Amino acid sequence: MKRRTWVAALAGLALGTLLAPASSIAATRTLLVLGDSLSAEYGLPRDSGWVRLLRDRLGEKKLDWSVVNASISGETTAGGASRLPKLLDEHKPQLVIVELGANDGLRGSPLDMTRRNLDSIVGAAREAGARVLLVGMQLPPNFGRAYTERFAALFEQTAQAHKTGFVPFLLAGFAGDASLFQADRLHPTVEAQPRILDNVWPALEPMLKAR
């Protein structure tokens, strides 16, 4: 008799789980970070970059999001546009942070090409049902005023055209502080990573809480 009761209880529990409303079952949403070395922990100890700090902050604030860091050192907007469809299909993110373009600028790539690639990335993410936070980048002045100004502007132009979230400059507030950069003067140190997250967070937080 006891065995029958135990089996019946298990059956009832299984049925209850199947019939339970979706809201009662944990359904973590996915945030995909599509970036380059600035998001891929280049030159940093493992799990010390701003994306890892973002994971920690989400946990502290009890925000139900998982983070997939699909960033690759050396990545360009062309590479990101090529990789994104597979990532969208595999992870089905509800939100995509796009942190790409620095390597385009450092290579002197045509700005129209970078803009087209960003358009493609944002469009693909939106078509897949994800919201997008586009992160802006700036170049050192030695690339010439005309190019650097047009480069910086194309991120805001893309964000406005697609009505996406926007972070004006990933390295805002410390780009001129050599003590917060590695020897190459391109990649921020461990000490700079919280500041990067703080630059991203004001634009990201409302998007995390939106339904």
pLDDT above 90 (res 8): no
Task: Confirm whether 187 is a catalytic residue.
Answer: yes
Q: Considering 24, 89, 179, 184, which one is annotated as catalytic?
A: 184
pLDDT above 60 (res 57): yes
pLDDT above 80 (res 160): yes
pLDDT at 5: 42
pLDDT at 81: 98
Report residue 145 as tokens.
Answer: 């005023």
pLDDT above 80 (res 13): no
pLDDT above 80 (res 26): no
Position of tokens 């373009």?
A: 101
pLDDT at 68: 98
Backbone angles phi, psi at 21, to 5 degrees: -65, 150
Q: Name the band, by pLDDT with cuts 50, 70 and 90, for residue 211.
A: confident
Task: Confirm whether 179 is a catalytic residue.
Answer: no
Q: What are 71-106's pLDDT values in tens digits?
A: 999 999 999 999 999 999 999 999 999 999 999 999
Kind and range of the H or E element at 205?
Answer: helix 193-209
User: Per-residue DSSP letters for 76-110?
Assistant: -HHHHHHHHHHHHHHH--SEEEEE--HHHHHTT--
Q: Yes or no: say if 87 and 190 are a contact pair by the CB < 8 Å rule.
A: no
Query: 135, exposed or middle or buried, with CB in 10 Å at 0-12, 13-18, 19+?
Result: buried
Q: Name the band, by pLDDT with cuts 50, 70 and 90, for residue 52.
A: very high
Q: Considering 82, 91, 187, 198, which one is annotated as catalytic?
A: 187
DSSP, collapsed to helix, strand or coil, labels residue 18 as: helix
Q: Yes or no: say if 166 and 159 are a contact pair by the CB < 8 Å rule.
A: yes
Distance CA 57, CA 126 (A): 25
pLDDT above 80 (res 20): no
pLDDT at 168: 98
Q: Name the band, by pLDDT with cuts 50, 70 and 90, for residue 142.
A: confident
Give the type of residue at 34. Answer: L
Distance CA 70, CA 87 (A): 8
pLDDT more than 90, % of the chain: 83
Strand partners, 133: 97, 165
pLDDT at 143: 84
pLDDT more than 70, % of the chain: 87
Distance CA 118, CA 100 (A): 8
DSSP, collapsed to helix, strand or coil, labels residue 168 as: coil
Q: Name the band, by pLDDT with cuts 50, 70 and 90, for residue 27.
A: low
Q: Name the band, by pLDDT with cuts 50, 70 and 90, for residue 154.
A: very high
Q: Considering 36, 37, 104, 162, which one is annotated as catalytic?
A: 37
Residues 6 or more apart in contact with residue 109 via CB below 8 angstroms: 76
